[in-house]
Amino acid sequence: MIYLDNAATTCPKPHAVTNAMVNAVLYNCANPGRSGHDMSIKAGELVYSAREKASELFGLSNAQGVVFTKNCTESLNIALQGLLQNGDHVVTSTLEHNSVIRVLESLKTAGKISYDMASVYADTLSTVSSFESHIRRDTKMLVCTLASNVFGTVLPIAQLSQLAQNYGLIFVLDASQGAMTIDMRKLNIDVLCLPGHKGLYGPMGTGLMLVNSTVKPMPLMYGGTGSYSQDRAQPKECPDAYESGTLNVPGIAGLCAGIDFVKKTGVDNIAAHERRLVSYAEHELKKFSGVKTYASECPEKTVLSFNVGAMHSEQVAALLNENGIAVRAGYHCAYTAHSFYGTERTGTIRMSPGVFSTPSDIEILLKNVYKIAKGSK
């Protein structure tokens, strides 16, 4: 299988990730933060080590601000539902995933908040102006994705963060997609939400919410934390406030190894490798008659969306799958992004390479797309 669906989840995972998970089950299979015996303490050390590594990688000064969740969607739900109050207004972008849009829409439908979507343009100034034009007196938060999961368009995060700061808004970043170094201190990010199983090469079922001391979301889930047991109220301390119930220790062990792998390989090296493959695919696909690629204005993209003639993207993806190529088609849980790019009728085929993808994987994809394009006429 030629796997070009890394934006959905990276595959394969580094061997170190698998080994760390197996070792956690074999040797650290105790409940951290609950008991006092050696194995529980050891499991707790493993979990804390993962918090430290995540906080170091993303420039968060306090490892206690690292919260483990089951995915980025959960992180975003805590950040949005936990911080927004009745009457608040939010500005977001047209390129958001449903993990942001549906949360906002549900809060809006409940009559709690209102929100506006800013357009994203090829030039930074127009994008920032679009965001600024939606800021109102009651705006409390600016939430956006680092990059579109469909088209790879990278948002001008530094400028948007500055905008949020200028207006005293909470800045929440969804870093599910896009490959770049993120420093929460430098970028003044209040809450950073990430999946553990994509760019961090950890296992599925892991996510992160990194919370700056500037904000304190209300938890979404309540229960046992191993701390303050005499108190009927949920602890206010981070991360306990958000981590009720037993943690996914094998998953966190894998995520910790994934972070090590990313640090060792280098975020910039991984990004450059993915960009090279995407750029090559884009350059070649543009030569094929009947094939349309998207977001050519964004050279930093690490995913590529395209269509073949008038075929529905799902048909093309099915044909590619028959030839052993894994890509994602359809609407990618981001219909507003498709509306923005005018691809609502067919969706798009998205190819997303990862660190283990090779130029020969792209060659095989190209050959197959060429065949499909030729046959579609």
Partner 1 sequence: MCCMYGEYIKFGSVTSAQRAQKILEANGIASKVGKNPSPKQTEGCGYALFVHSDAANAVRMLSARGIASKGTGKVNVR
Q: Which residues bind partner 1 (CB under 8 A)?
A: 32-36, 38, 41, 44-45, 48, 51-52, 62-64, 225-231, 235, 237, 239-240
Q: How far is the CB of 224 from partner 1 (least distance, A)?
A: 9
Q: How far is the CB of 58 from partner 1 (least distance, A)?
A: 17
């961090």: which residue's tokens?
A: 200
Shorter beta-carbon distance to partner 1: residue 233 or 310: 233
DSSP 347: -
Q: How far is the CB of 222 from partner 1 (least distance, A)?
A: 15
Shorter beta-carbon distance to partner 1: residue 37 or 136: 37
φ, ψ of residue 166 in degrees (nearest 5): -60, -35
- β-pairing, 191-195 vs 170-174, is parallel
Classified as helix, coil or strand, 102 is helix
Looking at 121-248, list the stretches that DSSP marks H as alpha helix, in order from N- to C-terminal side: 124-133, 157-166, 184-187
In 3D, which of 350, 349, 336, 352 has the Cα closest to residue 100? 336
Distance in angstroms (rounded) separating the CA atoms of residues 229 and 234: 9
Shorter beta-carbon distance to partner 1: residue 213 or 269: 213
In 3D, which of 343, 342, 340, 349 has the Cα closest to residue 121? 340
Across 177-208, b (16+ Cβ under 10 Å) vs e yields bbbbebebeebebbbbbbbbbbbbbbbbbbbb
Shorter beta-carbon distance to partner 1: residue 129 or 244: 244
Q: How far is the CB of 52 from partner 1 (least distance, A)?
A: 8
φ, ψ of residue 192 in degrees (nearest 5): -115, 120
Q: Which stretches does DSSP call E strand in 30-122? A: 66-69, 88-93, 113-118
In 3D, which of 122, 116, 128 has the Cα closest to residue 166? 128
Shorter beta-carbon distance to partner 1: residue 110 or 233: 233
Shorter beta-carbon distance to partner 1: residue 26 or 233: 233
Q: How far is the CB of 47 from partner 1 (least distance, A)?
A: 8
Q: How far is the CB of 209 from partner 1 (least distance, A)?
A: 14
Distance in angstroms (rounded) separating the CA atoms of residues 258 and 253: 9
What residues contact 220, with CB distance under 8 A and at least 6 apart?
74, 77, 78, 81, 82, 242
Shorter beta-carbon distance to partner 1: residue 135 or 256: 256
List the beta bridge partners of residue 5. Answer: 352
DSSP 26-40: HH--S-TTT--SHHH
Q: How far is the CB of 53 from partner 1 (least distance, A)?
A: 13
Shorter beta-carbon distance to partner 1: residue 11 or 39: 39
Shorter beta-carbon distance to partner 1: residue 34 or 276: 34
Q: How far is the CB of 154 from partner 1 (least distance, A)?
A: 34
Q: How far is the CB of 219 from partner 1 (least distance, A)?
A: 14
Distance in angstroms (rounded) separating the CA atoms of residues 369 and 329: 14
Q: How far is the CB of 228 from partner 1 (least distance, A)?
A: 5
Distance in angstroms (rounded) separating the CA atoms of residues 18 and 10: 13
Structure tokens at 360: 């020969």
Shorter beta-carbon distance to partner 1: residue 156 or 235: 235
